Structure 1
Amino acid sequence: MSNSADSPTEPARRPALRPVRLLTAGVFALAGLIFVTSFNTAKGTNIRTDASLLKLSDLIDQRSHKNKELGESTAAVRDDVDALAERGDSSTRAEDARLKALEASAGTQKLSGPGLTVTLDDAPPNATANPGYPDPQPNDLVIHQQDLQAVVNALWQGGAKGIRVMDQRLISTSAVRCVGNTLILQGRVYSPPYKVTAVGDRDRLQSALTASTALQNYQLYVKAYGLGWKVDEHEAVTLPGYSGTVDLHYARPVE
């Protein structure tokens, strides 16, 4: 017998898996995992989301519109409550007069009289500096919270009996706040141009605007970069009554 017949037979080797087969198996396994995960997440519902719902600006607009509707609803309910709460014959004229005075001071009633409107606006697109002024930075070309606050404060200083910003009446708890170049007032969002209307003596109101140090600084930017500034006088103008809630959330009356 030859040596080859006596030598032990080597076991047959398993064919090595090719890299392509391994990759194919991995892809199918991953696809199966994604399918199972998607099924468990969806539970039979559509998991697609409209891209517009993901836009923060759309959400802000929706909330602003909802707040407007709630404000109008609150005003209607307040009118109903006032009608139901009319005093009987036992009430005195002094009490009624005091109540009306408090309503006027709170800003919940309409107010009419002479006044003026101040309009603030961003600089025109692609605005450049006028001769003698440095080139503007982005913040130099937009209206800021401090500018609106300066107008409102000056009008109060000038003896304004009531103030409206855009289409809303200001009261003692109102806060004028800006985020970016948008105004947020009592739950609603506004874009420039911003209009601030006051009822009061027009000469005193004008003098207060002129005397304001903050507005004097603002006028420099009006001249340098073209920020909007306009004052319109009214022989008669009517401000709406405040229609939102008057509850205090972060303060309490002094004992």
Structure 2
Amino acid sequence: MGQKSYLSMTGITLIIGFMLAVQYHTVKEPIVRDTRDTSQLREDLVKEKELNLSLIREIQSNEEKLEKYETERSQSKEQILNETLMELKSEAGLTEVKGPGILINIEQINDALLFGEPAQSIPPYLIQRLINELNQYGAKHISIADQRLVNSSVIRDINGQTKVDGYSLHTLPIEVKITVESLEVAEKLHNRMQVSSSADDFFVENYQLKISEPHANLIIPAYKDSISIRQMELAETDKGG
């Protein structure tokens, strides 16, 4: 047999062997086909729809929770702002306050002076000294003759009359209300005012201070006038700051 014939036989043998191998592999691993009947396919489709519906409901539930959370957070911010505003108003004296404290009545020593009749006006410096001493001993809120004192309050003599923010203190007795942090502080304030230097100052001017026992709840009225803000401007901020 010649060389060419040998090569031809070898090639044919390889081709036949490759075809047999392919046929054997095809028989060994047949193609997998979907053998489910119509009822099974319908059942699987229903399950898929139910799963899809469950996912949609879960998404809707989460969206509702997020919306509720955003609403609550917005309301919480608004509530905090309102509480802060009320706190600032209270500190500024623009709201009525109630708390433990004491009452001080300023009266004239002269027994001949009838109750409620006009008397000589109390010097402004006496009122100012009394207020300073009360603040030193823990006063939070003070009113004089139902006139609330605030940071901008002015006590001065106008045409021979002592006035607090323009309101005259001309009728005796003059009631001073003071509220403090707690009843314990009110008791301490009461004891200190019993031996205060202000009482001596008033006595020299023919007045006396009658100091009440501590009260659990005293009501101090709000400041009656509007508070004007001077020398204040809007702050300029850099863009993007």
Equivalent position amino acid for 1:107 in 2: G
Q: Aligned partners of 1:254 and 1:195: how far apart in 2?
A: 40
Q: Aligned partners of 1:189 and 1:252: how far apart in 2?
A: 30
Counterpart of 2:8 in structure 1 is none
The correspondence of residues 44-59 of structure 1 with structure 2, limited to 5 A, is none
- Cα 1:94–1:163, aligned 2, differ >3 Å: closer, same or farther? same
Identity of aligned residues (%): 21
Unaligned runs of 5+ in 1: 1-87, 128-140
Asked if structure 2 preserves the Cα contact closer than 8 Å seen for 1:145 and 1:177, the reply is: yes
Deviation at 1:126, TM superposition (A): 7.3
Asked if structure 2 preserves the Cα contact closer than 8 Å seen for 1:120 and 1:192, the reply is: no
Q: Secondary structure at the match of 1:160?
A: coil
Q: Aligned partners of 1:155 and 1:198: how far apart in 2?
A: 8
Query: Are positions 1:174 and 2:132 aligned together?
Result: no
Query: Are positions 1:104 and 2:90 aligned together?
Result: yes
Asked if structure 2 preserves the Cα contact closer than 8 Å seen for 1:152 and 1:196, the reply is: no
Q: Aligned partners of 1:254 and 1:170: how far apart in 2?
A: 27
Asked if structure 1 preserves the Cα contact closer than 8 Å seen for 2:101 and 2:218, the reply is: yes
Q: Aligned partners of 2:159 and 2:212: how far apart in 1?
A: 27
Asked if structure 1 preserves the Cα contact closer than 8 Å seen for 2:133 and 2:198, the reply is: no
Query: Are positions 1:196 and 2:176 aligned together?
Result: yes
- Cα 1:253–1:213, aligned 2, differ >3 Å: closer, same or farther? farther
Q: Secondary structure at the match of 1:236?
A: strand
Equivalent position amino acid for 1:93 in 2: Q
Asked if structure 2 preserves the Cα contact closer than 8 Å seen for 1:121 and 1:192, the reply is: no
The correspondence of residues 129-144 of structure 1 with structure 2, limited to 5 A, is 143-144=122-123
Q: Aligned partners of 1:206 and 1:252: how far apart in 2?
A: 39
Deviation at 1:97, TM superposition (A): 2.3
Deviation at 1:151, TM superposition (A): 1.5
The correspondence of residues 170-249 of structure 1 with structure 2, limited to 5 A, is 170-179=149-158, 182-193=161-172, 194-200=174-180, 201-210=185-194, 212-219=196-203, 221=204, 225=206, 227-233=207-213, 234-249=215-230
Deviation at 1:204, TM superposition (A): 3.2
Q: Aligned partners of 2:194 and 2:225: how far apart in 1?
A: 32
Q: Aligned partners of 2:76 and 2:199: how far apart in 1?
A: 52
Question: How big is the alpha-carbon RMSD for the aligned residues of Structure 1 and Structure 2?
Answer: 3.1
Equivalent position amino acid for 1:205 in 2: L
The correspondence of residues 116-135 of structure 1 with structure 2, limited to 5 A, is 116-124=102-110
Deviation at 1:217, TM superposition (A): 3.6
TM-score by length of 2: 0.52
Deviation at 1:109, TM superposition (A): 1.0
Decide which of 141, 144, 155 is 1:165's aligned counterpart.
144
The structure having more radius of gyration, on CA atoms, is 2
Asked if structure 2 preserves the Cα contact closer than 8 Å seen for 1:121 and 1:142, the reply is: no
Q: Aligned partners of 2:157 and 2:104: how far apart in 1?
A: 17
Equivalent position amino acid for 2:168 in 1: V
Q: Secondary structure at the match of 2:212?
A: strand
Q: Secondary structure at the match of 1:228?
A: strand
* CA distances 1:35-92 after superposition (whole Å, capped 9, x unpaired): xxxxxxxxxxxxxxxxxxxxxxxxxxxxxxxxxxxxxxxxxxxxxxxxxxxxx84843
Decide which of 53, 76, 80 is 1:94's aligned counterpart.
80
Q: Secondary structure at the match of 1:92?
A: helix
Q: Aligned partners of 1:166 and 1:246: how far apart in 2?
A: 19
Asked if structure 2 preserves the Cα contact closer than 8 Å seen for 1:159 and 1:204, the reply is: no
Q: Aligned partners of 1:93 and 1:114: how far apart in 2?
A: 27
- Cα 1:147–1:155, aligned 2, differ >3 Å: closer, same or farther? same
Equivalent position amino acid for 1:203 in 2: E
Q: Secondary structure at the match of 1:183?
A: strand
Q: Aligned partners of 2:104 and 2:125: how far apart in 1?
A: 15
